[in-house]
């Protein structure tokens, strides 16, 4: 339920309302919008008499939040959430450009790519150290050593770090080295992992599951937010369809749909979305035109020999050209890179 307080309600009265809702067994979250306090009360809301709540001091009205996701909904928080990471406010006017290799493979590789993507305008370095590989015989990532390399390469070029956390036990380790904890598509519905990152003091980027609906994806964000971590970024990375000429089907419909339903920033990953190097740039351009808040793109200095996802990785020169085009599109939309 959404409890709207009257404009100018004193803090003490607002705090009384929240305490009474908690005493009714509900979890309470607050946001301030247009000079008015908005309270989301979640849990067993059926056990509460909401017409009575509407008569409490300071309360203007109560409303049912119409969707199953509550904290992630724009109905609760009308203004866009901006997730501050290093010098980039993700979800704000400036687009977030995240780039780097699929996997961290070594010092020389990570430093060369970090240098190139930073020069082109990226603000976040991506790179997997724990890789969710379909085959158990494929390269599984360098683990903590990979995280150390990624951190050093990012720091050397003024970049923030995003890296995937694959299970609950890895959360403290990832939080030590990465600025953003990435939940991979395969783990989007790993609810223990979502709960765990919900307690972490790092922003969380949730990639859309391979066969997940937009509602399921937003409910995954809700799992993180319900634990108290409101710093959530969504990432559309393609879904599985009957189409076989691309690795996945990049669902750009999801961008404007999610922007309406939710206040959370939405990024697009055209690398996993297409799986094909020369399809990455057109879909990246389309994603920004569709209203995405940024991109996450795989870039490799030697894609022919990459240990994972070489065929979809851009050469640094291609990435540089793409960022130039994104800059032009951003300007038309009143945004910047």
List of residues contacting ligand PEP (CB under 6 A)? 102, 128, 132, 184-186, 207, 237, 272
Please identify, using beta-carbon distances, which residue of 202 and 272 lies nearer to Mn ion: 272
We find the least distance from the C-beta atom of residue 137 to Mn ion, in angstroms, to be: 17
Q: In which residue are the tokens 């997940």 written?
A: 212
The footprint of Mn ion on this chain (CB under 5 A) covers a number of residues equal to: 2
We find the least distance from the C-beta atom of residue 19 to ligand PEP, in angstroms, to be: 41
3-state secondary structure 110-154: HHHHHHHHHHHCCCEEECECCCCCCCCCCCCCCCHHHHHHHHHHH
Report long-range pairs for 52-55 (Cβ below 8 Å, ≥24 apart): 53/1, 53/3, 53/20, 53/21
Cβ atoms within 10 Å, residue 162: 29
User: By beta-carbon distance, which residue lies closest to ligand PEP?
Assistant: 184
Q: Residue 314 in contact with residue 277, Cβ under 8 Å?
A: yes
Give me 24's structure tokens: 């009714």
User: Contact region for Mn ion (CB under 5 A) — 111-119, 173-181, 289-297, 309-317?
Assistant: 309-317
Q: Which residues are within 8 A (CB) of 331 and not within 5 positions of it... i.e. 6 or more apart?
A: none
User: Contact region for Mn ion (CB under 5 A) — 19-27, 210-218, 301-309, 314-322?
Assistant: 301-309
User: Contact region for Mn ion (CB under 5 A) — 7-15, 55-63, 241-249, 306-314?
Assistant: 306-314
User: By beta-carbon distance, which residue lies closest to Mn ion?
Assistant: 102
DSSP 8-class letter at 248: S
We find the least distance from the C-beta atom of residue 127 to ligand PEP, in angstroms, to be: 9
DSSP 73-103: BTTT--SPP-EEETTEEETSSBPEEEEE-SB
We find the least distance from the C-beta atom of residue 128 to ligand PEP, in angstroms, to be: 5
Please identify, using beta-carbon distances, which residue of 36 and 133 lies nearer to Mn ion: 133
Please identify, using beta-carbon distances, which residue of 70 and 277 lies nearer to ligand PEP: 277
Q: Return phi, psi of residue 237, to 5°.
A: -130, 20
We find the least distance from the C-beta atom of residue 58 to Mn ion, in angstroms, to be: 50
Please identify, using beta-carbon distances, which residue of 179 and 309 lies nearer to Mn ion: 309
Please identify, using beta-carbon distances, which residue of 58 and 184 lies nearer to ligand PEP: 184
Please identify, using beta-carbon distances, which residue of 73 and 190 lies nearer to ligand PEP: 190
Please identify, using beta-carbon distances, which residue of 207 and 277 lies nearer to ligand PEP: 207
> Which residue(s) pair with 62 in the sheet?
3
Give me 309's structure tokens: 């996802």
**Which among ligand PEP, Mn ion, none contacts residue 303 (Cβ within 5 to 8 A by kind)?**
none
We find the least distance from the C-beta atom of residue 252 to ligand PEP, in angstroms, to be: 15
d(CA 274, CA 90): 23
We find the least distance from the C-beta atom of residue 133 to ligand PEP, in angstroms, to be: 9
Helix (H) / strand (E) element for 41: namely strand 36-42
**Which among ligand PEP, Mn ion, none contacts residue 237 (Cβ within 5 to 8 A by kind)?**
ligand PEP
Residue of 309, 313, 318, 337 interacting with Mn ion (CB under 5 A): 309
We find the least distance from the C-beta atom of residue 335 to ligand PEP, in angstroms, to be: 24
Give me 231's structure tokens: 């710093």
Please identify, using beta-carbon distances, which residue of 236 and 309 lies nearer to Mn ion: 309
Check residue 269 for interaction with Mn ion (CB under 5 A).
no
Question: Within its chain, how far is the Cα of 298 from the centroid?
Answer: 16
d(CA 337, CA 189): 32
| Strand ranges of the sheet holding 59-63, from the earlier edge strand across to the other edge | 27-33, 36-42, 2-5, 59-63
Residue of 102, 166, 206, 219 interacting with Mn ion (CB under 5 A): 102
List of residues contacting Mn ion (CB under 5 A): 102, 309
């Amino acid at each position: 339920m959404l409890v709207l307080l009257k404009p100018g309600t004193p803090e003490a009265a607002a705090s009384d309302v929240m305490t009474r809702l908690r005493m009714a067994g509900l979890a309470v979250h607050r946001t301030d919008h247009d000079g008015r306090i908005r309270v989301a009360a979640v849990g067993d809301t059926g056990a509460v008499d909401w017409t009575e709540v509407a008569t409490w001091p300071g309360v203007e009205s109560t409303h049912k939040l119409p969707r199953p996701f509550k904290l992630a909904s724009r109905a609760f928080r009308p203004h866009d959430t901006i997730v501050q990471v290093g010098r980039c406010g993700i979800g704000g006017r400036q687009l977030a450009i995240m780039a780097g290799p699929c996997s961290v493979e070594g010092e020389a590789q990570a430093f060369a790519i970090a240098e190139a993507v930073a020069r082109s305008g990226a603000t976040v370095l991506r790179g997997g150290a724990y890789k969710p590989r379909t085959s158990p015989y494929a390269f599984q990532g360098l683990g903590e050593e990979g995280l150390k390399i990624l951190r050093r390469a990012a720091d050397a070029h003024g970049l923030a770090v995003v890296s995937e956390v694959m299970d609950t036990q890895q959360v403290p380790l990832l939080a030590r080295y990465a600025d953003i904890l990435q939940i991979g598509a395969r783990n989007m519905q790993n609810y223990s992992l979502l709960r765990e990152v919900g307690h972490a003091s790092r922003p969380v980027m949730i990639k859309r599951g391979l066969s997940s609906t937009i509602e399921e994806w937003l409910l995954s964000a809700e799992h993180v937010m319900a634990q108290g971590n409101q710093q959530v970024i969504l990432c559309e990375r393609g879904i599985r369809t009957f189409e076989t000429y691309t690795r996945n089907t990049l669902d750009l419909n999801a961008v404007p749909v999610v922007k309406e339903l939710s206040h959370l920033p939405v990024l697009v990953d055209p690398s996993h979305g297409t799986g094909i190097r020369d399809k990455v740039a057109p879909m990246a351009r389309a994603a920004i035109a569709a209203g995405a808040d940024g991109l996450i793109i795989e870039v490799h200095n030697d894609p022919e020999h990459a240990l994972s996802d070489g065929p979809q990785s851009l050469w640094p020169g291609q990435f540089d050209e793409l960022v130039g085009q994104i800059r032009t599109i951003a300007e038309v939309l009143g945004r910047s890179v």
